[in-house]
Amino acid sequence: MALTTESAHNVAHILSEALPYIRRFSGKTVVIKYGGNAMVDEALKSGFARDIVLMKLVGINPVVVHGGGPQIGRLLERIGKQLKVEVVVDREALERGQFQAEGGFTRLNKVFDGKLEQLLADLQESVWQDAG
C-alpha cells in the first residue's frame, strides 16, 4: 500500500498530537473501561482492539475493565419482569431460558462481585416480609 502525500500528512499530524501522551504514559498502567455499546458494534470492537495493541507497542500497559451497561441493564430488566410473575428469584431461575442464553447466574454473579447468591436471598426475604 503506497503512502500518498495527503495520508503522510495525516499520519504526521496524528503522531504529533499523540507523542506527548505517549511520552507521558509510557511505562504506566492505564485502566480502560470497555463499555456495552462498544462491545456490540463490530467497527468499535475492531478499533478498540487496534488501540489496545497500539498502546502496548508504545510502552503503555492497558488494563481493560468491563463496562457492559446495556447487557447488564437487559438482564436486570428480565429479573424485574420475572419478579412480577414469579415472586421467587433464585439461582435455578437464572439458569433457564433467556437468562441462560445471556450467561445465566455465572455472568450476573460477576457483575455483583460474587455476591449474587446473598443478594437473591436478601431479595426473597424482603419480598416475603412485604407480602406477609
> Domain residues of the chain, as ranges?
5-22+29-66, 69-131
Cα(63)–Cα(46) distance, rounded to whole angstroms?
17
Question: Residues 6 or more apart from 87 whose CB is under 8 A from it?
Answer: 124, 127, 128, 131
Query: Which one has a higher pLDDT value, 25 or 1?
Result: 25
Reduced to 3 DSSP states, what percent helix, strand and coil does the chain have, rounded to the nearest 5?
70, 10, 20
The CA-atom distances, in angstroms, between 30 and each of 26, 58, 91, 127 are 10, 13, 35, 42
Read off the DSSP letter of residue 94. G
Read off the DSSP letter of residue 19. H
Q: How many residues does the chain have?
A: 132
The reported pTM is 0.48
The per-residue pLDDT for range 49-85, each reduced to its tens digit, is 999 999 999 999 999 887 767 777 777 777 777 666 6
- Paired with 65 in beta bridges are 33
**What backbone torsions phi and psi does residue 63 show, to the nearest 5 degrees?**
-120, 120
The per-residue pLDDT for range 74-119, each reduced to its tens digit, is 777 777 776 666 555 678 878 887 778 888 888 888 888 888 888 8
Query: CA 55 from chain center: how many Å?
Result: 19
